[in-house]
Structure 1
């Protein structure tokens, strides 16, 4: 990403040395508040600090330095995501999309895809989270594969069909050696491949642009959608693949990208040609919120504590139940 004049401002609190950035993410997070305003309030669940609290989008961005990055030794403030032109254009696009409830405008959709690409690239620990998750999944699949050669061959075929290089060449015997030697390099390989795919915002933007995008609306009374400090999620569509050895990639067939756009709307991108809008009942909204919770870093953001999600037993729960559950699981 080229260096641009930033539209952000910085203030230094002498007590804590906090930097406050007036950036594009304030506009994004404001879509999850009651009034769609950066000075309105969000309900925040922070698993690291083990507490839930109310804050404004402005204070959330300032505290977490949500979008600070290092580019070739440059001051992160000068390389901030929220430079003025993009900030202004995206804010208008988000307002129009939320009003129209669709992504039919090509220019507005392009701005949101750029936001998604930058959110992914500017999360430096994303690949580590993916590596840990997929390594654990790989271990479980490996045990199954040793017991069931046919199941392993089935997943290899799916991975090769999705476009994963070298999937078909990885034999059952090699997998057995991997498990016996406790070799972690294979699990890491897929995420290293993903990291190479994310070398630039432009590369990822082009991959996202190839997908077909639908917008889903949360039904009234559902509690709405939530977002997080890692709002973009990438999953396999096939449940066996999602629980298995191979990590998904943004350019691979059979995968879905989910992005909560506002408290009322969520985007889903696939390589299936499907576009348009649909309405989701409370149970489906809760399922998408559960995915957001699973892939989050430390913070979840919602309009109120009344949002809904599914627990590990697929029972629908309210937002006020999330922090106690995270504390127990931690």
Structure 2
């Protein structure tokens, strides 16, 4: 069962209706090709929201997301019609969308699994320093209910398995989903603390584009963007870029107010460069006519050139 990590109601902003379906142009860096696809078949993964908890519907998260997306769709429609963020409730829905796409995606889950594996291995290594430390850690784990009372793996058995590489640490999806929403709760105040600058594309523009990871966090100083230091959500001097629709995009920054700017086509092209740079795999647009450029001084490239662009194919 396909479940979306980028909401369909958001993706539809960048597609067009064909009968009952919404078609979107997909630019795939792995396959190095572009093609049209149904919105329901992109930015999704089988059972992405599924949880296995006794006595609970395994699709409880998916159903909750569907209810949120119904209200989000209305908020996005009103934002696009008004071409501003003056409605506080609609702005709150948009910021929640930004937070969700930042934290709930396959690449983030891969990173979390990597962190869990690294920390877990360090913890296990420290508990295998001696028979005494291992025995003490087993007793503590049993007291806390983390291990069953009949656990009887010996110190020598687990040390041999650990040192021989026959040891695998796993975090199940229940824990991943729970952690994602915990991180979202902690992140939302940081998003609301930023001011949001709304960019409005000119009439007749080829428009803003999006991707399978539309949240793009960057240093405000262009000189730092391709350096060794990664920006953080809570750090001053950072900007969040997020395309709302082909005609609107936002930039969130600390110590600024909520503002609106009618931008030119060159600014749209520079903004669009964030999506190929930040996408996990795919960029989405209404068609191949959009433009993108990393700097205003650079001659913009056409969307039709993206799948042959070496910068896109090697991810940045």
How does the TM-score come out when normalised to structure 2? 0.68
> Is the deviation greater in 115-124 or in 72-81?
72-81
For residues 128 and 328 of structure 1, the distance between their equivalents in structure 2, rounded to whole angstroms, comes to 21
Among 34, 37, 44, the residue aligned to 1:52 = 34
For residues 39 and 105 of structure 1, the distance between their equivalents in structure 2, rounded to whole angstroms, comes to 30
Aligned to 2:287: 304
Among 105, 112, 119, the residue aligned to 1:123 = 105
Preserved CA contact (<8 Å) 1:25 1:82: no
Aligned to 2:174: none
**Runs of 4+ residues over 3 Å off in structure 1:** 20-24, 34-38, 69-78, 126-129, 196-199, 326-330
How many residues in Structure 1 have an aligned counterpart in Structure 2? Answer: 244
Aligned to 1:256: 239
For residues 276-291 of structure 1, the aligned pairs below 5 Å read 276-291=259-274
Aligned to 1:95: 77
Deviation of residue 48 (structure 1)? 1.1
Aligned to 2:253: 270
For residues 192 and 13 of structure 2, the distance between their equivalents in structure 1, rounded to whole angstroms, comes to 23
Aligned to 1:8: none
1:325 aligns with 2:305: no
Q: Which one has the largest radius of gyration?
A: 2
Aligned to 1:184: none
What SS does the corresponding residue of 1:53 show, helix, strand or coil? Answer: strand
Aligned to 2:300: 316
What SS does the corresponding residue of 1:215 show, helix, strand or coil? Answer: strand
Deviation of residue 220 (structure 1)? 2.5
Aligned to 1:180: none
Deviation of residue 242 (structure 1)? 2.3
For residues 1-330 of structure 1, the aligned pairs below 5 Å read 19-21=1-3, 25-34=7-16, 39-61=21-43, 64-65=44-45, 68-69=48-49, 77-80=59-62, 83-126=65-108, 199-310=182-293, 314-326=298-310, 330=314
Structure 1, unaligned runs of 5 or more: 1-18, 130-195
More strand by share: 2
What SS does the corresponding residue of 1:40 show, helix, strand or coil? Answer: strand
1:242–1:24 distance in 2 versus 1, CA, 3 Å: closer
Deviation of residue 323 (structure 1)? 0.6
Aligned to 2:170: none
**1:8-29 CA deviation, whole Å, 9 max, x = no partner?**
xxxxxxxxxxx24489711000
Superposition CA RMSD, Å: 3.1
1:311–1:119 distance in 2 versus 1, CA, 3 Å: closer
**1:57-83 CA deviation, whole Å, 9 max, x = no partner?**
12225xx32892466779874323863
1:234–1:311 distance in 2 versus 1, CA, 3 Å: closer
For residues 19 and 245 of structure 2, the distance between their equivalents in structure 1, rounded to whole angstroms, comes to 12
For residues 21 and 86 of structure 1, the distance between their equivalents in structure 2, rounded to whole angstroms, comes to 14
What SS does the corresponding residue of 2:245 show, helix, strand or coil? Answer: coil
